[in-house]
Amino acid sequence: MSNFTLKIIAMISMFFDHLGYAIYEKFSFFNYIGRIAFPIFAFGISEGYIHTKSKKNYLMRLFMFAIISQAPFMFFTSIFNKEFSLNIFFTLFLGLVSIIGYEKCTNKYIGLLLVACLGLTADTFKMDYGYFGIFMIFIFHIFKNKKVLMNISFVALCLLKYIPLYIRSNFYLPYIFLFICTCLSLIFINLYNGKKGKNDKYLLYGFYPVHLILLYLLNIIFI
């Protein structure tokens, strides 16, 4: 399974996730499908770090589309959430910063502290997926050549996120299903063959803000 195929699967999953909010204006069964998307995008950042010709340009591209996507993201999230938050490109950007920062640190303990601080930053500024997103990107990077450890660490991170939510919500069962569906993304990630596939550098960058605007318009016109 090529990087292009993974990206298409993630985009379809993300679309269903957001479609559910556009139709129901709250959590729905569509969100279970949507849990597959972010881990694949996070994995894509770790792969992008390895294969990009210019890490500086990669960072700038992520940040530029984070800025471009913020207004569509705020319009869309206003359907179901009135609180301010930053879109997923900010999370992906900070995740890439964490990888670059860690690799530049000669003392890896300081590098790990940097990653932890960036995770806290993502939570503080209410970036989509917060610390969970930053740590996931870092896990895919640090264990890129150790699939067993990558899978175990990924599941452990998901447990760290969902089990407290499950307990605090008085054992709300959907959190268990969200955990399971998030972990299902590993099936696709482990099928990755290391090949790029079709040249699609700007496919996700364009799809993300455009589909958010279209779903927002769908909601205000038809729902």
CA atoms of 20 and 119, how far apart (whole Å): 28
What average pLDDT does the segment 129-145 reach?
97
From residue 173, give the alpha-carbon distance in Å to each of 19, 44, 53, 200: 22, 30, 45, 38
pLDDT score for 133: 98
What average pLDDT does the segment 167-179 reach?
96
3-state secondary structure 51-97: HCCCHHHHHHHHHHHHHHHHHHHHHHHCCCCCCCCECHHHHHHHHHH
Label residue 23 exposed, middle or buried (CB < 10 Å: 0-12, 13-18, 19+).
middle
| Tens digit of each residue's pLDDT (9 = 90 or more) over 116-130 | 999 999 999 999 999
- Token pair 């803000």 in the structure block, residue: 209
Label residue 121 exposed, middle or buried (CB < 10 Å: 0-12, 13-18, 19+).
middle
Q: Which pLDDT band, with edges at 50, 70 and 90, does 199 fall under?
A: confident
The alpha carbon of 219 is separated from its chain's Cα centroid by a whole number of angstroms, namely 24
The radius of gyration of the chain's CA atoms, rounded to the nearest angstrom, is 17
pLDDT score for 189: 98
Q: How many CA atoms lie within 13 A of 115 on its CB side?
A: 25
Cα 46–49–51 angle (5° rounding)? Answer: 110
Give the H or E element holding residue 182.
Answer: helix 174-190
Tokens for 109? Answer: 């303990």
CA atoms of 163 and 176, how far apart (whole Å): 8
pLDDT score for 170: 95
Residue 86 forms beta bridges with which residues? Answer: 127
- Token pair 């407290």 in the structure block, residue: 164
128 within 8 A of 91, measured Cβ to Cβ: yes
What average pLDDT does the segment 33-47 reach?
98
CA atoms of 202 and 122, how far apart (whole Å): 24
pTM of the model: 0.97
pLDDT score for 190: 97
